[in-house]
């Protein structure tokens, strides 16, 4: 089934921001409902939330978008950092007249969500860190996984022209082996490949990937998070494993940790969408 069938009922458009140019945005749900913003991982794009956007739109005004330098958003040749993307989110919310919203971020998206919630606490209702980056890596395996991510990302987007094979190899890293045949379709790989071949990507990609090297410099100050926080994790998440998640859970006030019951790795929102959607919506609905 085409992932674009999952977007039936959603609106996809480009929104102009004050400092960062056009940002590609997908949204669904009545704008009178509580806003819920989803944020993807490094080198990713809003299609990471194809299984969540419309499914949750009966309860929320759901938004996903492409980060600066990624997907089809503007790709300026600048020094990328997590703080730049925090300000991109602030400007996008301003442009969409969203004073505050629930935030849910996966990998890089969780990193940005956590940093944003500390800098702009009044703009975040509740926080979901979904297999998030920006947390202290506490195992040797996690460090090795990070090196593997750097290698695969460079092969897919910066070391010569991107190919179907190199992008597929990078995306295999996202999925539990049990889910790769079902989730990693040619359509999904070709979608990402088209973004890696888009105008401006060749120049922006190395700068975007440089943020991986900034990981320990911009860790989320976990003890300063004020919002109710749900960590959604998997037993097979690379880099930030369950030990890392438990460590973060202890440091974040008013937080809870949920380990997915379904087989999943780094994209639980896609690999086990029904379980993810149920857990997240229940958490956000709590008083």
pLDDT(159) > 80: no
Mean pLDDT, range 225-252, rounded to an integer: 97
Of the ranges 74-78, 117-121, 159-163, 178-182, which one carries the lowest mean pLDDT score?
Answer: 159-163
pLDDT(243) > 90: yes
Could you report the per-residue pLDDT of 171-223, keeping only the tens digit for each? Answer: 999 999 999 999 999 999 999 999 999 999 999 999 999 999 999 999 999 99
pLDDT band at residue 85 using 50, 70 and 90 as cut-offs: very high
- Going by their DSSP bridges, the two strands 11-17 and 124-132 should be labelled as unpaired
pLDDT band at residue 1 using 50, 70 and 90 as cut-offs: low
Angle 54-60-64 from CA coordinates, rounded to 5°: 60
Residue located via tokens 């005004």: 61
Of the ranges 65-79, 135-149, 161-175, 226-240, which one carries the lowest mean pLDDT score?
Answer: 135-149
Which run of H or of E encompasses 206?
helix 201-209
Residues 283 and 14: their CA atoms lie apart, in Å, by 30
Return phi, psi of residue 19, to 5°. -110, -15
Q: Which tokens go with 157?
A: 């987007």
> What pLDDT was estimated at residue 265?
98
pTM for this prediction:
0.96
Mean pLDDT, range 245-266, rounded to an integer: 98
% pLDDT > 90, the chain: 89
pLDDT band at residue 138 using 50, 70 and 90 as cut-offs: confident
pLDDT(47) > 80: yes
Higher pLDDT, 92 or 138: 92
> What pLDDT was estimated at residue 146?
84
| Mean pLDDT across the chain | 95
* CA dihedral (196, 15, 47, 129) positive or negative: positive
Contact 25, 31 (CB under 8 A): no
> What pLDDT was estimated at residue 99?
98
Residues 256 and 214: their CA atoms lie apart, in Å, by 27
All structural domains of the chain = 3-285 (3.40.50.1820)
Of the ranges 73-82, 84-93, 143-152, which one carries the lowest mean pLDDT score?
Answer: 143-152
Higher pLDDT, 147 or 57: 57
């Amino acid at each position: 089934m085409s992932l674009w069938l999952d977007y039936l009922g959603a609106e996809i458009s480009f929104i102009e921001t004050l400092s960062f140019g056009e940002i590609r945005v997908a949204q669904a749900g009545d704008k009178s409902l509580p806003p819920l913003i989803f944020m993807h991982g490094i080198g990713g794009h809003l299609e990471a939330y194809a299984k969540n956007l419309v499914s949750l739109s009966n309860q929320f005004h759901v938004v996903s978008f492409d980060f600066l330098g990624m997907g089809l958003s503007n790709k300026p040749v600048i020094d990328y950092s997590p703080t730049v993307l925090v300000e991109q989110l602030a400007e996008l919310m301003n442009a969409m007249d969203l004073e505050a919203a629930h935030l849910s971020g996966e990998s890089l998206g969780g990193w940005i969500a956590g940093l944003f919630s500390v800098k702009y606490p009044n703009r975040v209702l509740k926080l979901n860190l979904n297999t998030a980056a920006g947390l202290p890596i506490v195992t040797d395996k996690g460090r090795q996984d990070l090196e593997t991510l750097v290698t695969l990302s460079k092969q897919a987007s910066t070391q010569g022209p991107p190919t179907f094979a190199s992008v597929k190899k990078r995306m295999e890293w996202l999925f539990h082996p049990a889910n790769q045949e079902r989730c990693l379709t040619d359509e999904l790989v070709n979608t990402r490949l088209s973004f890696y071949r888009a105008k401006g990507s060749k120049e922006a990609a190395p700068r975007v990937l440089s943020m991986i090297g900034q990981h320990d410099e911009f860790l989320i100050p976990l003890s300063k998070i004020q919002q109710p926080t749900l960590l959604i994790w998997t037993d097979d998440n690379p880099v930030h494993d369950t030990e890392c998640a438990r460590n973060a859970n202890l440091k974040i006030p008013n937080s809870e940790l949920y380990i997915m019951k379904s087989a999943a790795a780094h994209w639980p929102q896609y690999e086990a969408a029904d379980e993810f959607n149920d857990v997240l919506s229940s958490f956000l609905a709590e008083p």
